[in-house]
Structure 1
Amino acid sequence: MNLEKLTFGVGDRFAHQAKAQLRAFQQAALLGIDVTPVWNKSNREHGFVGSQPPSVKAAAEKAVKDLGWTGAWHVDADHINLSTVGPFLDCSDFFTIDVADFIGDAVADSDINAFVDGHGELIGELQLPGMESSHNVDRDFVTRVARQYLGACKAAGEIYRHIADIKGENNFIAEVSMDETDSPQTPPELLVILAALADEKIQLQTIAPKFTGRFNKGVDYVGDVDQFRREFHEDLAVIAEAIQRYGLPSNLKLSVHSGSDKFSIYPAIREAIQTKGVGVHLKTAGTTWLEELIGLAEAGGDGLELTKEIYAYSLDHIDELCTPYASVIDIQRDDLPPAAEVATWDGEKLAGTIRHIPDDPRFNANVRQLLHVAFKVAAKQGSRYLDLLNANEAIVGEQVTRNLLDRHMKPLFLG
């Protein structure tokens, strides 16, 4: 099973927007954008909303059938490890193997020395096509990187083999994720990591490193865009080299775990993949749950009232909601409007506050981030929230489709 060149990860926490999401892919195809949907939902998100992994595949299958989609599509077991992968095995064909928790784990000196001795090609000047400057790599550097990442690579191998034993090695797509960690991996470090993953015999089709800068949930990139551009180009050069050196799959590509809506780096990604003729996997393209709230706000009536209630509850429980996401949100609490003020707003103002259009004077990134992590508040509403999604399907779905197509696919692939 080979992953297509351009792929978009789309989340659907309440399993109600698969058709609206797929419509964006259909409309993109009419514009000449051949991009494949990958529906994803993590074990943590399933736990928060009380769903089970098969529900993601079921919703995707229904959307594909109802809309007559004839292109490829996938279901991603998002950020799994050995203890959580079980329920995803029968209903997923894409597995994001998350080994961030194993970075820095102790590895025997004998294993580290064996790795370094076995990879003398890593030592020396690293100068690849696409790199603006060379990198001097000595034995101490390779040893230090191996000490930091070899345990994570071995863990990835163990998880990969467990999946392969059950599904068959050619029946799934493997991604290795190392993005949810404190420090970004430099291009020379990435080459060492890819060598270690190749040693584990992982048929790796995407790799998700941590890039420089902040990838906060639901809002734009925070960092030096020019530095990201250089890093992205150099990582692509490293991947091309690793494919040649280590026999990794020829379609191996970068995965950008964006946390959604990293508009300012889209031009850098577009330029790089078009120049080099390579693909990319954007892990999270648009935050569907927030588009649901925007649609409910604009619908008025009970939808608007529930959106206001969710905001008021989130404001009162901000620490509880934000703690699990502390490393990927930056909320300026003084800039959050009081619930009493929001209660007086009409649907257009509330929708404009949440919708991610940075130059809209109504937009408030702090409100958006808070509501991004508040989806389990809606889950507690049970049928009330879901019934409102059904009653307002058209206006909610329009927000989901327009967001994916106009704010993600067009800028990333058309410019």
Structure 2
Amino acid sequence: MSEELRLPKFSLGVGDRFAHQAKAQLAACVMAADAGVEVIPVWNKSNREHMIIGSEPSQTRVAADLAVKELGWMKPYFLDADHINLKTVGRFLEPCDFFTLDVADLIGQPADPKDVEAFVKRHPELVGTVTIPHIDEPFKTDAAFVTDVANKFLAAVQDAGRIYRFLVEKKGAGKFVPEVSMDETDSPQTPVELLIILAAIADEKIPIQTIAPKFTGRFNKGVDYVGDVAQFTKEFNEDLATIAFAVKTYGLPDNLKLSIHSGSDKFSIYNAVHDAVKKFDAGVHMKTAGTTWLEELIGLAEAGGTGLEIAKEVYAEAYAHSKELCAPYATVIDIDPAKLPKPEEVNGWTSEQYTSALRHEQGNKEYNPSFRQLLHVGFKVAAKLGDRYLRALEANEEVVAKNVTTNLFERHIRPVFLGK
């Protein structure tokens, strides 16, 4: 059907916590188009973030639509209900047209034994020697292995099916882009495990357009990838090969692509992502790219005056409440408390000292990843400042926007999608 929403080949999941940077973010996608590559913005904001900030998904929609109108953007764009389940999806139904189905809680929960048995019987092609084109070695499996993998993931996929069918009931088939998130599990899925998951998704008749598997290494918030780049490269290439094979084998949508969650600032893997995507002529969705909220703080600090004062105040409060701010993000941050400067020291900093510590430029010896990660999870502090913070953003819009756009284009779009 021509009216079915399709996610184009390259897309960028961008967060905009305070709904003030949509235009600056979109400007980076305009720059990408001018440079010869179409990168589609997908504005994403989770239910947790809305709860912390006290915002509504409808506000994100208004901001995105306004940016599109002001910049005359004629290409597609989307609004992602990030990490929703049946309990939280309600407020996202009207404004959103992209839904990340979060089934993390059910990964590892055993499925009904009869369902598992039926799955294994339905998929004899998964038992024995499984050959996936473009992966060097075939995989040897048996019924017990497939049963074990189905036991780990089938209940989660069935839950995704329930959420998907609810969305179809409320929005209509083809009226939204479904993504399934499988990244919140202990270890990376092997290609054959990913194939089993995709077979189960096809059985549930979920026309997913993007899937987020678990990759090796740590994808901490707002800082570079920590792990074995060669191993990541191997896994990423094998996942692309598996997706291409699953599309042909199970009739999944032909634009199904990988999603890299917490993909922001993972500079050391961007070359590998670009090269693999080029090799397979595949798409990719780089999610939560751009760390926009940190670029707002950098812009405020750079502006000096009241902007710098607010940036310092945010750090002082984040430092004072670091335990409670870090707790929800414990698995995706690595902060060394000994590396955090005391607020008294930061209060004496110049604009340049603050921005050097915060801006993700690894060649700058003043760059401080612990400082950066604490501020990344400290957006709750700015939310409590309310109008004071928003007025500061508006008063310093030009310098803030410049940082947002430059960061998104130069540090994210250029290496991932242009390979430069």
TM-score (norm 1): 0.99
Q: Which residue of 2 aligns with 1:33?
A: 37
Q: Does 1:211 align with 2:215?
A: yes
Q: Does 1:143 align with 2:147?
A: yes
Could you give the per-residue CA deviations for residues 384-412 of structure 1, whole angstroms, max 9, x where no partner exists? 00000000000000000000000001111
1:107-122 to structure 2, matched below 5 A, reads 107-122=111-126
Distance (whole Å) between structure 1 residues aligned to residue 31 and residue 287 of structure 2: 20
1:13-412 to structure 2, matched below 5 A, reads 13-412=17-416
SS of residue in 2 equivalent to 1:313: helix
Could you give the per-residue CA deviations for residues 23-47 of structure 1, whole angstroms, max 9, x where no partner exists? 1111111111211000010000000
Q: Post-superposition shift, 1:335?
A: 0.7
Pairwise CA RMSD? 0.9
Q: Post-superposition shift, 1:106?
A: 2.6
Q: Post-superposition shift, 1:71?
A: 1.1
Kept in 1, the 8 Å contact 2:19–2:59? The answer is yes
Distance (whole Å) between structure 1 residues aligned to residue 191 and residue 49 of structure 2: 31
Could you give the per-residue CA deviations for residues 205-230 of structure 1, whole angstroms, max 9, x where no partner exists? 10001111100000010110111111
SS of residue in 2 equivalent to 1:249: coil
Q: Post-superposition shift, 1:307?
A: 0.7
Kept in 1, the 8 Å contact 2:263–2:286? The answer is no
SS of residue in 1 equivalent to 2:169: helix
Kept in 1, the 8 Å contact 2:182–2:214? The answer is yes
Distance (whole Å) between structure 2 residues aligned to residue 380 and residue 154 of structure 1: 39
Q: Post-superposition shift, 1:259?
A: 4.6
SS of residue in 1 equivalent to 2:209: strand
Distance (whole Å) between structure 1 residues aligned to residue 356 and residue 271 of structure 2: 25
Aligned letter for 1:117? K
Q: Post-superposition shift, 1:132?
A: 3.2
Aligned letter for 1:344? G
Aligned letter for 1:41? K
Which stretch shows the higher mean deviation, 291-300 or 253-262?
253-262
Q: Give the share of equivalent positions with the same residue, in percent.
A: 60
Q: Post-superposition shift, 1:359?
A: 1.4
Q: Tell me the number of residue pairs that the alignment of Structure 1 and Structure 2 aligns.
A: 415
SS of residue in 1 equivalent to 2:327: helix
Q: Post-superposition shift, 1:322?
A: 0.2
Kept in 1, the 8 Å contact 2:356–2:366? The answer is yes
Q: Post-superposition shift, 1:316?
A: 1.1
Distance (whole Å) between structure 2 residues aligned to residue 40 and residue 57 of structure 1: 10
SS of residue in 2 equivalent to 1:169: coil
Which stretch shows the higher mean deviation, 166-175 or 123-132?
123-132
**Is there any run of 5+ residues in structure 1 with no aligned partner, and where?**
none
Q: Which residue of 1 aligns with 2:12?
A: 8
Q: Post-superposition shift, 1:124?
A: 1.9
Distance (whole Å) between structure 1 residues aligned to residue 190 and residue 320 of structure 2: 40
Distance (whole Å) between structure 2 residues aligned to residue 315 and residue 361 of structure 1: 22
Could you give the per-residue CA deviations for residues 182-236 of structure 1, whole angstroms, max 9, x where no partner exists? 2221211100000111110101110001111100000010110111111011111
Distance (whole Å) between structure 1 residues aligned to residue 186 and residue 115 of structure 2: 25
Distance (whole Å) between structure 2 residues aligned to residue 385 and residue 318 of structure 1: 20
Distance (whole Å) between structure 1 residues aligned to residue 262 and residue 319 of structure 2: 25
Q: Post-superposition shift, 1:258?
A: 2.5
SS of residue in 2 equivalent to 1:407: helix
Distance (whole Å) between structure 1 residues aligned to residue 51 and residue 189 of structure 2: 30
Q: Post-superposition shift, 1:140?
A: 1.3
TM-score (norm 2): 0.97
Aligned letter for 2:7? L
